[in-house]
């Protein structure tokens, strides 16, 4: 079973920030938080990952709470192309914990 | 390198037939993963390889399913005696050994069993 819970859907106005929450209350100390997105009929695309510090790259920012029990993916200026299903995944670094266990994700719709 | 390549993109087969899918990972990636995805669900883990060794298999991978990665490069996933319930998108991904920088997924093979 997935170790994360996400809202099933969200809407966001084009040009505004999209904030996608994820709960991972049972995360272990050596487990990373990864975010992927999947646009219809394509394979998932890596966005960002983090352990405990906030992270930023050209696509998004990842904010992880101090207790690491939840995180938020921020798309700073959402465009119509960001409409996709977003998956939050917790992944370990030891044998048997490498694989991703996907949940059903959050379907983000960016509105014009 | 153009990423992870999967062939064919689409496959329609009759129930009871065997099918084989191919995945070509990014050349320097020594881990390779297979996932299956049905409509409205997230991808489900099937199996993964480190080089040519198959290190983990999901219980979803019944006896009718077999995966190989003979020389640690490309991989094949075979389904024997296909059933309608096998209809799904089959996704392949690859990563470096640590996997910490994330996986690169292919575009998948969509299987329809009629």
pLDDT at B1: 54
pLDDT at A68: 94
Structure tokens at B36: 């299956």
Of the partner residues A36, A43, A100, the one whose CB lies closest to the CB of residue B45? A100
- Which residues 53-82 in chain A show a CB within 8 A of chain B? none
Per-residue model confidence as pLDDT tens digits over A79-104: 999 999 999 999 887 766 778 889 88
pLDDT at B46: 95
pLDDT at B61: 84
For A85, list phi and psi in degrees, rounded to 5: -95, 130
> What residues in chain A have per-residue pLDDT under 50?
none
Of the partner residues B42, B93, B107, the one whose CB lies closest to the CB of residue A104? B42
pLDDT at B2: 73
> What residues in chain B have per-residue pLDDT under 70?
1
Neighbours of A86 (CB within 10 A): 23
Place of tokens 């996933």: B77
| For A105, nearest residue in chain B (alpha carbons) | B42
pLDDT at A95: 66
pLDDT at A29: 85
């Amino acid at each position: 079973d997935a170790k994360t819970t996400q809202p099933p859907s969200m809407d966001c106005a084009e040009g505004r920030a999209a904030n996608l929450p994820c709960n991972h209350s049972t995360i272990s100390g050596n487990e990373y938080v990864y975010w992927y997105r999947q646009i219809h009929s394509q394979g998932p695309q890596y966005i960002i990952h983090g352990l405990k510090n906030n992270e930023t790259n050209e696509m998004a920012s990842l904010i992880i709470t101090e207790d690491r029990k939840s995180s938020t993916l921020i798309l700073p200026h959402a465009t119509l192309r960001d409409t996709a299903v977003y998956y939050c995944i917790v992944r370990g670094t030891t044998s048997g914990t490498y694989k991703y266990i996907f949940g059903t994700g959050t379907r983000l719709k960016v509105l014009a | 390198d153009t990423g992870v390549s999967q062939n064919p993109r689409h496959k329609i087969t009759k129930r009871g037939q065997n099918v084989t899918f191919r995945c070509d990972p990014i050349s320097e990636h020594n881990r390779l993963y297979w996932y299956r995805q049905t409509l409205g669900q997230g991808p489900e883990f099937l199996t993964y390889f480190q080089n040519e060794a198959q290190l983990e298999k999901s219980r979803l991978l019944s006896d009718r399913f077999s995966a190989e990665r003979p020389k640690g490069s490309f991989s094949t996933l075979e389904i024997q005696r296909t059933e309608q319930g096998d209809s799904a998108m089959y996704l392949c991904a690859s990563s470096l050994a640590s996997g910490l920088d994330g996986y690169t997924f292919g575009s998948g093979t969509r299987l329809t069993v009629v």
